[in-house]
Amino acid sequence: PTVVPVGLGPPTDAQCDTKAAISYVYKDASTGQFETYDPSNPPASSSIATTTTDQGHTVPYIVRQEFGVQDRGIYAIAVLNQPGAWNHKLVTYFGASTAPDHEQSQPSAVLDDFALGRGFMTANSSMNVNGENTNQVVSSEALMMLKEHIIDTYGRIRYTIGEGCSGGSYQYMVAAMYP
């Protein structure tokens, strides 16, 4: 049986690429938690928190999430849904651990309140998680492909911040190998 992760459809090519799956969440004004957001049946606007980005834009705290597969790596992207709210800065997460595996697994979580609330886009590919894929060349390629997709879909990136602990800290080699 084929396992279909994070609501993705079947592969469309030999690299297991899929069409993107889009979903939304909002930050609940009373609980501070992310909740599912249905654009065709939104909650009362008073239920949706607002956030002020580092560019001074105050917007409803609604996040667009995109999941897909590129070159066998499952990716996740999250960004504020309001046009103009993204500050064109990217935070990408390099998951913990390290292992000799090379598998299609889940990407690191991208619903980072600290980054998203300031207008940053957050993104990750499962090929950037050393605990699932300890191969710096493949990880570098996955990051470059993800950034290319972001540029093509969302616009230019001013700069990228990488974050990781333990095995994720090894990802500094990506910047050293491909400055």
**Residues 58-84: pLDDT tens digits?**
999 999 999 998 878 889 999 999 999
What is the DSSP pairing of strand 89-94 with strand 159-164? Answer: parallel
Q: How confident is the model at residue 1, as a pLDDT?
A: 29
**Residues 149-166: pLDDT tens digits?**
999 999 999 998 887 766
For residue 4, the number of C-alpha atoms closer than 13 Å in the C-beta half-sphere is 10
User: Model's pTM, two decimal places?
Assistant: 0.88
DSSP 115-178: HHTTT-EEEEEGGG-TTTB--HHHHHHHHHHHHHHHHHHH---SEEEEEE-GGGGGGHHHHHH-
Per-residue confidence band for 5, with pLDDT thresholds at 50, 70 and 90: very low
Q: How confident is the model at residue 2, as a pLDDT?
A: 37
Q: How confident is the model at residue 99, as a pLDDT?
A: 66
Q: Provide the token pair at 15.
A: 């690299």
Q: How far apart are CA 9 and CA 93, in angstroms?
A: 24
Mean pLDDT, to the nearest integer, of 7-24? 83
**Residues 97-132: pLDDT tens digits?**
666 666 667 777 899 999 999 999 999 988 887 767
Mean pLDDT of the chain: 85
